[in-house]
Structure 1
Amino acid sequence: MRWDSLFEDLESQLQAQLEAQFRDEVAENIRIERATEKLAGKLASLAGCTVHLHLAGSVEAVGTVGPMGEDYVCLDAEASSLLVTVKAIQRITMASPSRSAALPGPEPSPVKLPALLRGLLRDRSRMRIHDGWGKLLAEGTPTQIGHDFLMIAAHPRDEFPRESSITEHSIVPLAAIGWISIPRGY
């Protein structure tokens, strides 16, 4: 009997089994990773890429993906900056993903929507607030961000939000917001 050839054959069979088991484990881990990925993570992988966000109400927003949180994404569009809630996104299209877009991006920011809105309040940013279906809810300058609402002062576009120029105050529940458009130059 040729012991050497028998052991070589057994060792090669064992090596083949180990390699097959390793390939199966890798494939299973990839399936699990893909099945548990969230939209925020997918958006994070598109940071810096130009995308088309198809929003409710047949609205399409085209721009570069910026910072994002678990429930929102910032988009730098040509005429404005957009803050889009994930619930308002119906579809995302982009050019064929490059190698870099296929790689995991940064983790979504832990900054929650109310905190981000408070930053916009400090900047006195004029904004247009749309609901989840594209209907304009309010336009003006935010004056207060509560736990679950935003108060906005309506005033003529070419005036600052002074008491004499404010025509009305609106309270918008944060849950009603689909996206916020912040025009450039304000």
Structure 2
Amino acid sequence: MRWENFFDDLEGQLAAEWEAERAALDTEAERLRLSRVTLRERLAMLVDREGDSSVPSFDLIDGTVLSAEVTGVGADWAALDGGRSGAMIVPFSALAAIGMPHADVLRTARPAPARSALVERMSLGFIARDLVRRRIPVTIHLTRGRALSGTIDRAGADHLDIALHEPGTPRRASEVTGHRIVPFSAVAWIRLEEGATLG
């Protein structure tokens, strides 16, 4: 009788040790998976998020705080919809912090679904060239706090040219007050003219 209790006790200890070892391996595997998650993947998980939770906030390097929903994510930028504030493009390099409900923090850390290869290659330059093609007036907020309003005339590999004119007016030679070349590294965020969208 004592031997039965002894073997039952040993069996229980062995099962507990195996369970502890399996839990430790699962924890280590999860840490390894999380170490490979990118900011782009986490932001992509916020696109079309459901629920009535509060809107995420984005602290930018120019000191601006934007409350907006993520509507798209490219190679190095996120498209935001600030409601009445309109559509915005924010380079990842301009993000200082992102505030969101704890449920969204946890959800964005889950494995992300596969994305199209085209979206993975859509850089800030790609989006700037689309804005050139569509002649959408913008306001470019620089990392130093200054804002430039006008229309993007050209977009290179790492910079853009903007013709400056008053917000809300079309780009006409008579309305242009100057031109600037802006490196992408100096862009904190871009606000599109009211009613304009990406795509």
Residue 149 (structure 2) aligns with: 139
Kindly report the root-mean-square deviation, in angstroms, between the aligned alpha carbons of the 2 structures: 2.8
SS of alignment partner, residue 42 of structure 1: helix
Supply the distance in 2 between the matched residues of 1:183 and 1:161 (Cα, whole angstroms): 12
Supply the distance in 1 between the matched residues of 2:86 and 2:113 (Cα, whole angstroms): 24
Pair 1:158–1:59, CA change in 2 (3 A): closer
1:165 correspondence with 2:170? no
Q: CA deviation at 1:11?
A: 5.5
Q: Does the 8 A contact of 1:87 with 1:132 survive in 2?
A: no
- The partner residue of 1:66 within 71, 74, 83 is 71
1:116 correspondence with 2:127? yes
Q: Which runs of 5+ in 1 are unaligned?
A: none
Supply the distance in 1 between the matched residues of 2:9 and 2:169 (Cα, whole angstroms): 85
Pair 1:160–1:183, CA change in 2 (3 A): closer
Pair 1:148–1:102, CA change in 2 (3 A): closer
Moved more, 98-107 or 172-181: 98-107
Moved more, 96-105 or 17-26: 96-105
Residue type of the alignment partner of 2:151: T
Pair 1:7–1:21, CA change in 2 (3 A): same
Q: Does the 8 A contact of 1:127 with 1:181 survive in 2?
A: yes
Normalised TM-score (structure 2): 0.77
Moved more, 158-167 or 56-65: 158-167
Q: CA deviation at 1:142?
A: 0.8
Pair 1:25–1:43, CA change in 2 (3 A): same
How many residues of Structure 1 are paired with residues of Structure 2 in the alignment?
185
Normalised TM-score (structure 1): 0.82
Any residues of structure 2 matched to 1:48-63 within 5 Å, and which?
48-49=48-49, 50-63=55-68
- The partner residue of 2:94 within 88, 98, 120 is 88
Identity of aligned residues (%): 31
Supply the distance in 2 between the matched residues of 1:132 and 1:57 (Cα, whole angstroms): 5
Q: Does the 8 A contact of 1:44 with 1:104 survive in 2?
A: no
Residue 18 (structure 1) aligns with: 18
Pair 1:158–1:25, CA change in 2 (3 A): closer
Q: Does the 8 A contact of 1:47 with 1:66 survive in 2?
A: yes
Supply the distance in 2 between the matched residues of 1:145 and 1:16 (Cα, whole angstroms): 62
Q: Does the 8 A contact of 1:130 with 1:180 survive in 2?
A: yes
- Structure 1 or 2: larger strand share? 1
